[in-house]
């Protein structure tokens, strides 16, 4: 699904990623952990194609093609979804309109028929219920005035609607109450299938109890300094990052 080889990248001519390698196979869930400012969100934005990040070396293959050559929207149309750490507000744009426009843009790009109003309404209701998203929020403007948790749930709703092949969740669990955490995990688990993959960026072991990653990676100083199974997350929870950083420096 996704292969990242020796990726280096700058932001504002400052080197943030210093050689990241990652191989995500179809059906796998990878967790990325790491100290604040280590480059996790940077990696996520580079995968989704945000402007302002300069890739200085390495390559990224997505479904066998050179990802870096695709425009942001093309990546989305081909199934990459990023649940953002800081979801953006779109005042005046109705949440349902946004979802529908987005779905249809993706469908059009795949030469599929647009979804009709009736089927769309049915689908939103269903998905909103499945991720426990308050139906009242559907009628409001996208994220405008939403609470932190509501914004995160909205990201999960969008993910559930768009059914991406590669979903990247950037700290979707941060700032969520326990119930919401479960909901996010359920959203991810619902989507889990042999043809979909996920990268879950998180600071907390707790989420991984619900999600059960196949692999856990530690990103620090712009490099993956340790990879392991889900037990690595437990170890980190208990010991912090200090020992790993020392080992990496040694």
Partner 1 sequence: MGLPNIEMENFVETEYAQGFVTEIESDTLPPGLDEAVVRTISERKGEPPWMLEKRLTAYRHWLTMREPNWAEVKHPPINFQDISYYSSPKKKPVLDDLDQVDPELLATYEKLGIPIEEQKALAGVAVDAVFDSVSVATTFRESLAEAGVIFCSMSEAIREYPELVEQYLGSVVPHKDNFFAALNSAVFSDGTFVFIPKDVKCPMELSTYFRINEANTGQFERTLIIAEERSHVSYLEGCTAPMRDENQLHAAVVELVALEDARIKYSTVQNWYPGDNEGRGGIYNFVTKRGDCRGNRSHISWTQVETGSAVTWKYPSCILRGKDTVGEFYSVAVTKGMQQADTGTKMIHIGENSRSTIVSKGISAMHGSNAYRGLVRVAAKAENARNHTQCDSLLIGDRCAAHTFPYIEVKNPTAQVEHEATTSKVSEDQLYYCRQRGLSEEDAVSMIINGFCKEVFNELPMEFAVEAQKLLAVSLEGAVG
Ligand X SMILES: Nc1ncnc2c1ncn2[C@@H]1O[C@H](COP(=O)(O)OP(=O)(O)OP(=O)(O)O)[C@@H](O)[C@H]1O
Where along the sequence are the contacts to ligand X (CB under 6 A)? 11-12, 16, 34, 36-42, 85
Q: How many residues bind Mg ion (CB under 5 A)?
A: 3
Backbone dihedral angles phi then psi of residue 33, each to the nearest 5 degrees: -120, 175
> Residue 192: which of partner 1, ligand X, Mg ion, none does it interact with, CB under 5 to 8 A by kind?
none
> Residue 213: which of partner 1, ligand X, Mg ion, none does it interact with, CB under 5 to 8 A by kind?
none
* CA 55/CA 155 separation, integer angstroms: 27
Output the smallest distance, CB 220 to ligand X, in A.
9
Query: Binding string to Mg ion for residues 76 to 115, with x set by CB under 5 A, is what?
Result: ---------x------------------------------
Output the smallest distance, CB 36 to Mg ion, in A.
8
41: contact with Mg ion by CB under 5 A: yes
Q: Which residue's CB is nearer to ligand X, number 54 or number 179?
A: 54
> Residue 39: which of Mg ion, partner 1, ligand X, none does it interact with, CB under 5 to 8 A by kind?
ligand X
| Residues forming the site for partner 1 (CB under 8 A) | 48-51, 71-73, 76-77, 81-82, 84, 87-94, 97-98, 101-103, 105-106, 109, 141, 158, 162
> CB count, 10 Å around CB of 149?
17
Q: Tell me which residue of 94, 92, 62 sits closest to 80, measured CA to CA.
A: 62
Output the smallest distance, CB 42 to ligand X, in A.
3
Q: Which residue's CB is nearer to ligand X, number 40 or number 196?
A: 40
> Residue 64: which of partner 1, ligand X, Mg ion, none does it interact with, CB under 5 to 8 A by kind?
none
143: contact with Mg ion by CB under 5 A: no
Q: Given its phi and psi angles, is residue 146 left (phi above 0), alpha (psi -120 to 50 degrees) or beta? A: beta
Q: Tell me which residue of 101, 92, 98, 52 sits closest to 72, measured CA to CA.
A: 52
Backbone dihedral angles phi then psi of residue 57, each to the nearest 5 degrees: -170, 165
Q: Given its phi and psi angles, is residue 175 left (phi above 0), alpha (psi -120 to 50 degrees) or beta? A: left
Q: Which residue's CB is nearer to ligand X, number 34 or number 49?
A: 34
User: Residues with Cβ < 8 Å from 138, sequence gap 6 or more?
Assistant: 95, 96, 124, 128
Do the Cβ atoms of 160 and 131 come closer than 8 Å? yes
> Residue 97: which of ligand X, partner 1, Mg ion, none does it interact with, CB under 5 to 8 A by kind?
partner 1
Output the smallest distance, CB 34 to Mg ion, in A.
9
Output the smallest distance, CB 131 to ligand X, in A.
23
Site for Mg ion, rule CB under 5 A: 40-41, 85
């Amino acid at each position: 699904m996704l292969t990242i080889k020796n990726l280096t990248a700058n932001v504002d001519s400052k080197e943030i990623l210093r050689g990241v390698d990652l191989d995500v196979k179809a059906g796998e869930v990878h967790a990325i952990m790491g100290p604040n400012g280590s480059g996790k969100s940077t990696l996520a934005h580079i995968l989704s194609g945000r402007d302002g990040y300069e890739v200085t070396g390495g390559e990224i293959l997505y479904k066998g093609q050179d990802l870096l050559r695709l425009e942001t929207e093309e990546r989305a149309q081909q199934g990459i979804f990023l649940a953002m750490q800081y979801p953006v507000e779109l005042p005046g744009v109705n949440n349902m309109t946004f979802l529908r426009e987005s779905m249809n843009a993706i469908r059009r790009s795949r030469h599929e028929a647009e979804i009709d109003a009736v089927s769309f309404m049915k689908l939103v209701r269903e998905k909103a219920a499945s991720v426990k998203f308050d139906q009242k929020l559907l009628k409001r403007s996208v994220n405008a005035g939403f609470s932190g948790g509501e914004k995160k749930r909205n990201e999960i709703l969008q993910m559930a609607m768009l059914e991406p092949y590669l979903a990247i969740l950037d700290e979707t669990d941060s700032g969520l109450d326990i119930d919401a955490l479960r909901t996010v995990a359920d959203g991810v688990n619902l989507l889990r299938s042999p043809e979909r993959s996920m990268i879950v960026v998180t600071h907390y072991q707790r989420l991984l109890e619900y999600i059960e990653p196949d692999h856990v990676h530690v990103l620090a100083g712009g490099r993956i300094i340790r990879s392991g199974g889900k037990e690595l997350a437990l170890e980190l929870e208990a010991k912090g990052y200090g020992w790993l950083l020392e080992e990496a420096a040694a």
